[in-house]
Amino acid sequence: MNSLPFSKKEYRQRLEKIRGRMSEQGLDALILTRAQNIYYVSGYRAAVMNWTLPLLALVVPIKGEMRFMTRLIESATADTQLAPDPRKYKDHENPYALLAELLEETGYASGRIGVEESFLSAFQLNQIRKALPSAKLQDASWLVERIRITLSTQEVAYFRKAAEMTNIGFSRGLQRIKPGLYAYQVVAEMQKAMYQAGQSDVEVTKMWIWSGPQGGFMHDTSVTRKIEQKDLATVEVWGTDCQYLVGAQGTVYFGKKPPKAFSENHKLVADMYLAAKEALKPGAISGDAYRAANKVYRARKGTDYWRRVGSNMGLTFGPMDMGMNGKDVIEPWTPFILQLVEVEPALVTCCSTVLVTGSGVEELTPPLLELKCIGL
């Protein structure tokens, strides 16, 4: 078996916590289908590729051994994860019938079974219901996510390594980006730098560049627009280590002196970022960061800020509410991405991934607190 990213002891502790939550919710078994949760519990690294499968599932019974199933093509990878005797189905076989068999083996096929409804398609959920007609299905979305909000010592180490990769890519992007280049040319330089430095995962790494006279189109995936003088551009990078994600994002202006409206807008998001970071501390409530940033926004704009100020991080976003109604208590060793954005009169952002420690907040990626001008 290939070495797993965590010790057997840490996996046992995770399983104990999950079963404790299952007991609280009256569940006899839990069917995990979200890729990152399967990885968290069993160490199955190929879980991120579950979009290629009709069904990928890890069955966690309240007692007894876990059951795991995937496509036959992933046999070798399946043998590296923790659940014994992993089942592999052929492409012409019915994976939902196999799932029912696994539940029968646990003895809980007619019990109360948790499913991650938020991460299943309507078709998948309907097929699970048909395959388990005697079961009492109950939504267990976010059960595992709420356990993995805070990081263990080893997770923190992976997270810090991911931050190193992110910072290398972000720094390279800021060094290389200039008018006359296409976004894909800068993205290629960023990726090359990160993999040369030790980036170890594929598929989960993300990077974007948006540019235009008003900042471009956020979340647009096109990379074929040529960057021009007097553009605003946002560079965003997500590095990873052992699938733990760290993000960095910042806005730059191509010219010696940006329009006053752009500078003022950027100062607004930078001041909001600093206020949110100051409010983010052990024992605080997750909505405190929003309220602190919103105080700055309301003083300048006369209305409430229109989005959350960030999200807790790790293998995925969420589920901690970093918006107006957040009520989660923040504990040490919880990572967050603080991402303050404004879109009028132009798209600007101030962002950093931070880690709440036992005594405060540590910035893992550098925020651009001033609008960076790349002069010609």
Q: Are residues 143 and 158 in the same domain?
A: no
Q: Are residues 85 and 222 in the same domain?
A: no
In angstroms, the CA 243 to CA 200 distance is: 9
Specify whether the CB–CB gap between 276 and 309 falls below 8 A.
Answer: yes
Q: Are residues 215 and 289 in the same domain?
A: yes
CATH number for position 204: 3.90.230.10
Looking at the structure of the chain, the number of domains it has is 2
CATH number for position 50: 3.40.350.10
Residue 2 lies in a domain: no
Q: Are residues 134 and 178 in the same domain?
A: no
- Kindly give, in sequence order, each residue whose CB lies less than 8 Å from that of residue 236, ignoring residues fewer than 6 positions away: 206, 207, 208, 209, 247, 248, 249, 351
- Listing DSSP states for 191-251 in one string gives HHHHHHHT----SS-EEEEEEETT---TT-----PBP-TT-EEEEEEEEEETTEEEEEEEE
Q: Are residues 102 and 173 in the same domain?
A: no
Residue 17 lies in a domain: yes
**Each residue's pLDDT expressed in tens, for the chain with a length of 376 residues:** 458 999 999 999 999 999 999 999 999 999 999 999 999 999 998 866 677 789 999 999 999 999 999 999 999 999 999 999 999 999 999 999 999 999 999 999 999 999 999 999 999 999 999 999 999 999 999 999 999 999 999 999 999 999 999 999 999 999 999 999 999 999 999 999 999 999 988 877 889 999 999 999 988 888 999 999 999 999 999 999 999 999 999 999 999 999 999 999 999 999 999 999 999 999 999 999 999 999 999 999 999 999 999 999 999 988 999 999 999 999 999 999 999 999 999 999 999 999 999 989 999 999 999 999 997 6
Residue 1 lies in a domain: no
Boundary (domain end) residue, out of 147, 165, 198: 147
Boundary (domain end) residue, out of 147, 167, 197: 147
- Listing DSSP states for 323-370 in one string gives STT--PBP-TTEEEEEEEEE-SSS-EEEEEEEEE-SSSEEESS----S
Q: Are residues 165 and 143 in the same domain?
A: no
Q: Are residues 275 and 224 in the same domain?
A: yes
Residue range(s) defining the domain that contains residue 266:
153-373
Q: Are residues 216 and 325 in the same domain?
A: yes
Four-CA torsion 191, 193, 194, 195, nearest 10 degrees: 80
